[in-house]
Chains A and B, each alone.
Chain A
Amino acid sequence: MKRSYVGVLALCLVLLLNIVFLQLAVHQFFFERYTLVLIYVALNILLFPIALWIYKKEKNQTMNSG
């Protein structure tokens, strides 16, 4: 079985984006740019199903190949 770390790297990227978006949302909140806050919060929430999808995809791949 050949190991693939694509899923791990993709999830690391998702987590990095999570941190960045939360930081931006908090910053824009203090600048009172509330529309931008909503956009960043929406992006952050959207990342969760993406992470779940990456995990499931990676799990299925491992099961099929291994």
Chain B
Amino acid sequence: MTEQNKPYEEDNYTHNIHRNRERTLDRRGFMKTMVGAAGVFAVSSLPWGGVAARELWNFADDEDERQKIANVTDVPVGESFDFTYPTEHDSALLIRLAENDYVAYQNACTHLQCPVFWEKESWEMICPCHHGYFSAETGEPTGGPPRRPLPEIELQVQDGTIYAVKVKRYEA
């Protein structure tokens, strides 16, 4: 077919495309997008794998530092005390359940990280954002959307002072 006899003006080898960019939405283009998306997913899961691998292989030397929280006299029975542990960005909550019974948890709700508060009246820890409830004795969720327990902090009481020793790991 010579140049003069060309039946269509446009440079379009199938002659049935009527809209701009119509071919970019075809089956081939869709499949290319899907392959690209698979690549994006592969790359975006790398950081999780990286941190997980680091946690696995540096397990032993990942000890938290001992840190003073409060004096025993600062926390009456049934009251709570806010602190941060192991870094200043991890807020935590110390609760004195009985004369010699102290518990402490990192208080970011395991649902969507809202701060969890101690409610003395109901003897429970409450996340006000979506009404999540946690048992103060174990840190386990007792109601609402959270499914995982709050990370517990191991404590030591020495000479009238309460120390945070380390963040307990979940039972794997």
Q: Which residues of A contact B (CB under 8 A)?
A: 3, 5, 7-8, 11-12, 14-15, 18-19, 21-22, 25-26, 29-35, 37-38, 40-42, 44-45, 47-48, 50-52, 54-55, 58-59, 62
Q: Which of B101-147 contact A (CB under 8 A)?
A: 110
B52 contacts A37, CB within 8 Å? yes
Give CA–CA (A37, B51) in the complex, Å: 10
Who on chain A is nearest to B50 by CB?
A: A41
| CB of B170 within 8 Å of the partner chain | yes
With a CB–CB cut-off of 8 A, which chain A residues contact B27?
3, 5, 7-8
Residues of B near A7 (CB, < 8 A) are 27, 31
Given the known inter-chain contacts A21-B45, A26-B48, please indicate yes or no for A8 contacting B39, CB distance below 8 A.
no
CB-defined contacts of A12 to chain B, threshold 8 Å: 34
Q: How many A-B contacts if CB must be within 8 Å?
A: 97
The B interface is mostly helix, strand or loop, or mixed, namely: helix
Say yes or no: B45 contacts A40, CB within 8 Å: yes
A residues less than 8 Å from B53 (CB atoms): 34, 38
Chain A contacts of B170 at CB under 8 A? 31-33
* Distance of A66 from chain B, by nearest CB (Å): 11
* B139, chain A: closest CB distance, angstroms: 14
Q: Is the CB of A29 within 8 A of B48?
A: yes
Q: Measured between alpha carbons, how far is A7 from B51 in the docked complex, in Å?
A: 34
| A residues less than 8 Å from B56 (CB atoms) | 34-35, 38
Min Cβ gap B151→A in Å is: 9
Are A25's CB and B148's CB within 8 A?
A: no
- Give every chain B residue within 8 A of A33 (Cβ-Cβ): 170, 172
> Chain A residue with minimal CB distance to B57?
A34
Shortest Cβ gap from A3 to chain B (Å)? 7
